[in-house]
Amino acid sequence: MTDYTIRRMGENEYPLLNDFLYEAIFVPDGATPPPKSVTAYPELKLYVEHFGDYEDDLGFVAEISGKAAGAVWVRIMDDYGHLDGRTPSLAISLYREYRGLGIGTALMKSMLGCLKEHGYERVSLSVQKANYAVRMYQNLGFEAVRENDEEYIMVHNLSGLS
């Protein structure tokens, strides 16, 4: 069992989001990962650019031995999972060596609770159908509301959280 702490992301950690954004890119088994420069593409950099400048920007970090091991963050943006101007879009990622340990679920639960406390009605995300994280999202109460050949747009209604 790995000891970790889930806490609010500090402003000094916002630059780490670029690394976590890259780690969030789903790469199927056997596929070649894209270059790190892919995070500069407009459709990806909107997840992290100027993070913290807007009231809907919220983030949590999983910390292990003083090091950020994973992050979950939301903002209202016109991304792949966009629904409307009131629903934040969620991104989550863990460094590879920390996956499969329950840390992602703990990060998600912290974020879902925080969003409910802030009065949001729901949160959305986009995920590749082949991504193993789909099961985690479903277990946390996310439901697919739209899909195409490759991905789901999933929503979690926060009114059901206690």
Type of residue at 134: V
- Structural fold of domain 5-160: Aminopeptidase (3.40.630)
Alpha helices in 30-129 (DSSP H): 42-45, 103-117
How far CA 106 is from CA of 4, 42, 102, 157, in Å, comes to 10, 30, 6, 18
Average pLDDT over residues 8-35: 94
Instruction: Identify the helix (H) or strand (E) that includes residue 6.
Output: strand 5-8
Query: Does residue 105 surpass a pLDDT of 90?
Result: yes
Angle among Cα 48, 143, 94 to the nearest 5 degrees reads: 40
Instruction: Identify the helix (H) or strand (E) that includes residue 85.
Output: none
Q: Is 65:51 a contact under the CB 8 Å cutoff?
A: no
pLDDT digits (tens, 9 = 90+) for 40-88: 999 999 999 999 999 999 999 999 999 999 999 999 999 888 899 999 9
Q: What is the pLDDT of residue 28?
A: 85
Please give the share of the chain, as a percent, with pLDDT higher than 90.
89
Domain ranges of the chain: 5-160
